[in-house]
Amino acid sequence: MSNTILVYATRWGATTEATKEIIRIIEDKFEIKVDLVNLKDKKTKNPEITPYENVILGVSVAKFRWANEGKRFLKNNRDKLAGKKLFVFVSSGGAGDAYKANDMEKYEKLQKRWIDYILEKYNLKYTSRKALGGRYVGSYSDRGDNRDWGVIRNWAEEVGTIISGKKS
């Protein structure tokens, strides 16, 4: 078994796609096996995380809300997560817009809103966190996909470096 697990909850697929790229980089570049769990899958919605040292959580943010499965995961695993390295990323169109516009003040506020404040609610601390862009759907679909794959890859390398203790 791996000592790293990546659990995620997506709404429209942007988080799934980012997850695949993050795992690819961590496994290929750092030779770290990452177990993958989709929190929306009924069979794996409450994974056992006790054996893992490193937990990567990816959650979609839409209409100013985390995917419910992400919050449920934090609530159900609050005590188990306390002694682990926790890496958190969110797929957020708003964060992607701010990053793309180079509005780092707004981008940082959104990271705090979508990650820091959520984790504080569960009395958890992160090892590393990143708000990634997202994909707009529905009435906002004209705004498209604002993910920056360079940002995603750089964050994956940061996570791999921390877990492995090696430079990328």
Q: What is the pLDDT of residues 46-87, one digit of tens each?
A: 899 999 999 999 999 887 788 899 999 999 999 999 989 999
Residues 21-33: pLDDT tens digits?
999 999 999 999 9
pTM of the model: 0.92
**Residue 152 sits in which domain range?**
4-164
Predicted local confidence at residue 138, as pLDDT: 54
User: The domain spanning residue 154 has which CATH number?
Assistant: 3.40.50.360
Total domains in the fold of the chain: 1
The DSSP result for 55-122, as a single string, is EEEEEEEETTEE-HHHHHHHHHHHHHHTTSEEEEEEEEHHHHHHHHTT-HHHHHHHHIIIIIHHHHHT
Residues 147-162: pLDDT tens digits?
889 999 999 999 999 9
Please check the confidence at residue 45 and state whether its pLDDT lies above 90. Answer: no
